[in-house]
Amino acid sequence: MKVTRRELLKVAGAGAGALALGGLGVSYLVTESYAKDLKIKGAKEVRSICPFCAVSCRFIAHVKGGKVVSTEGDPGYPISEGALCAKGATMNSMVNSTHRVLKPMYRAPFSENWEEKSWSWMIEKLARKIKDTRDKTFTVKNAEGQVVNRLETMFHMGSSQMSNEEASIVVQAQRALGLVYMDHQARI
Ligand code: SF4
């Protein structure tokens, strides 16, 4: 077998590294026993798509007992080949964060306190505010008398936590209301 100089140096380097580790007291048995306790051991691999932007990188979630214990990029996905940007790479901490707000919270005008509300209460409240604002301020014609049918008193801010499909539905709903001012958090 013909071995190139580069290959020879690689093998020699690896051998020297292994010997050096042994000399430093690194035990391969310890590494093996640690591997048995890895948090993803026995976890189910679930493939999903990062929801944070339209690149839609695929990731693998390791799920144990119904809980996500780890996430990583999926190397088998041809678009992203296992890579994730800073947002996608923090998926696990986002999913399991104790700071995550899981219920609708409401702070009344001038109040310093947040109150937990039901989804139906919150949706009703939002719908009423949107309807009242639109009824009061909708612009049918501009100063030149041209029909514009627009709502300039409301602004919509999208979220990078939304999927592409959710973002599409939200934009269509805002356009139907007549909104002209909207943006997306992932852009700023
Ligand atoms: S936010 Fe990052 S990891 Fe997620 S889809 Fe976009 S580029 Fe990929």
Query: How do residues 56-112 score in pLDDT, each as one tens digit?
Result: 899 999 999 999 999 999 999 998 999 999 989 999 998 899 998 999 999 999 999
The residue whose CA has the least distance to atom 6 of ligand 1 is 53
162 lines ligand 1 (CB under 6 A): no
Cβ-count burial 62-79 (b if 16+ within 10 Å, e if not)? bbeeeebbebbbbeebee
CA 183 to ligand 1 center in whole angstroms: 18
Q: Is the CB of 148 under 6 A from ligand 1?
A: no
Question: How far apart are the C-alpha atoms of 58 and 83, rounded to whole Å?
Answer: 9
Q: Which atom of ligand 1 is nearest to the CA of 85?
A: 2
Confidence at 19, pLDDT banded by 50, 70, 90: very low
Choose between 164 and 117: higher pLDDT: 117
Structure token digits, residue 93: 């901490």
Atom of ligand 1 nearest to the CA of 86: 2
User: Region 137-157: what's the mean pLDDT?
Assistant: 96
Q: What is the pTM of this model?
A: 0.59
Q: Which one-letter DSSP state was computed for residue 152?
A: E
- Which residue's CA is minimally distant from atom 1 of ligand 1? 52
Q: Percent of the chain, pLDDT > 70?
A: 78
